[in-house]
Structures are given as structure tokens and as C-alpha cells.
Amino acid sequence: MNLLEVESLEKTFTLHLRGGQRLPTLRAPDFQLQAGECVALRGPSGAGKSTLLRCVFGSYRVDSGSIYLHHQQQCLELSRADSRSILDARRWSMAYASQFLRVIPRVSTLAIVAEPALLQGKSDTEAAARARELLLRLNIPLALHHLPPASFSGGEQQRVNVARTLIGTHPLLLLDEPTASLDPANAALILAEIRRAKENGRSILLILHDPQQIRKLADRELILAAGDACS
């Protein structure tokens, strides 16, 4: 059974502040993702890799084509779904880590990471314990857990972002360059957590640039060529 299916997907941005100029950005190859599969998106800068992840997550509306997600025992056509269905899919079926953590003033790191577990019905105690454990595994020391992550380094914020994505039981994880600002040791921690998620049957669509990391983690690659995006 496919967890995710993408068909004939195209996205063009319309720049309203530039007289409605249209910017064709993405023409994705058709693909499917099965349970427990990890697919790495590759392609040159500007090819539309982040745009594809955002289309799947429902942040961008697509112009044509379809995105199907297996959600709550049904096939949800994400590309045509209303916002309530997309929010429900985000709560239960897909989690997304962008390249940058969206920090909320005065909200602690522990609370930011625990939130998706709370939304899935875990108790405060359970969600906090799981958040603490994940943060420690990702090398965020206990002393930082009660601080808002606004002042954290780029690499620390990135690990908090990934922890927030991993904490729930979402079967689909969308990760935009999860190792980008990290030194090799901390990148290895992230890769280990992603591998663990995969071994637990979760599916991962992620953007990675390092061929060695891709070889270690991904079952296959999906190449977005610059020409695909812009022709």
C-alpha cells in the first residue's frame, strides 16, 4: 500500500507585487512512497525541492496534479482537501521540519517539542518525558530544555525542529535538509534518529545533499532537474 502518491504535480508562483508575473517552479516526477521507505529528494538549488515538500504538507496549493495520502484508513487527496482535512492530516499522519525552527517567544523548548504529542492525546507527563528523552538523544542538554530556543545556535534549533517532528506517531515525515547546519557528530545523531523512525515503519521524504548520507539512509533518490522546474 502506498502511503503517499504524487502524480503530475506542477506549481507556479504568481508574484502579485510584480504585476502578477508567473514563475513556473515545480514539475515533479510521479512517485509513490511506501510504509517504511526513505526517499531523498535531490536536484540543484532552485529546482523546487522545498516547494515539493511544502505542497505535500499543504502549505502551498498546487496548480495541477494530485497528491494522495493514506490518512485514517482512507485515501485523502491532499491537493484538493479543505483546510480542516489538512490540519487533521498534520495532526495524525504527516509531520514536517522546515530548515528553520519557528520559535514562539517565551515558549520553552520542551513545550515546543512536546506539542505534537499532546495534540495526539498524550498526557502532559508522557509528552514531556518523551520530549526530554528525544532532546537528550539529539544532544540538547537538560539545562536548555526550559529555555525558549530563540537564542539557540542554528544547529541546536535544527535539532529541536527535528525532535518536534519525530515525537508523534505520524507515519510520514517530511524533512527539509535536516542535517544542513550540523557538524558531523550532530548530523550523525539526526541520521540515527531518522533511521530509527524508518525501522519503526515510518516513511520519510527528505532533502539531503551529501551523497554519503543519502547512501547510508535512503532507499532511493528522486531527482528534480532544474529544467523540470523551469521549462
Ligand X SMILES: Nc1ncnc2c1ncn2[C@@H]1O[C@H](COP(=O)(O)OP(=O)(O)OP(=O)(O)O)[C@@H](O)[C@H]1O
The verdict on 228 binding ligand X (CB under 6 A) reads no
Asked if 167 and 136 touch (Cβ cutoff 8 Å), the reply is no
The verdict on 226 binding ligand X (CB under 6 A) reads no
Q: Which of 9, 48, 57, 67 touches ligand X (CB under 6 A)?
A: 48
Residue located via cell numbers 530556543 = 149
The verdict on 180 binding ligand X (CB under 6 A) reads no
Q: How many CB atoms within 10 Å of residue 81?
A: 17
* 113 burial level (CB within 10 Å; 0-12, 13-18, 19+): buried
Angle at which helices 154-166 and 184-199 cross, to 10°: 10
Of 44 and 201, the one with the shorter C-beta distance to ligand X is 44
Q: Where are the alpha helices (DSSP H) in 70-122?
A: 83-92, 109-119
The verdict on 158 binding ligand X (CB under 6 A) reads no
Of 78 and 131, the one with the shorter C-beta distance to ligand X is 78
Of 26 and 190, the one with the shorter C-beta distance to ligand X is 26
The verdict on 58 binding ligand X (CB under 6 A) reads no
Contact positions with ligand X (CB under 6 A) in 97-136: none
Contact positions with ligand X (CB under 6 A) in 7-46: 13, 23, 25, 43, 45-46
CA dihedral of 179, 183, 186, 188, whole degrees rounded to 10: 70
In the complex, the residues that contact ligand X under the rule CB under 6 A are 13, 23, 25, 43, 45-51
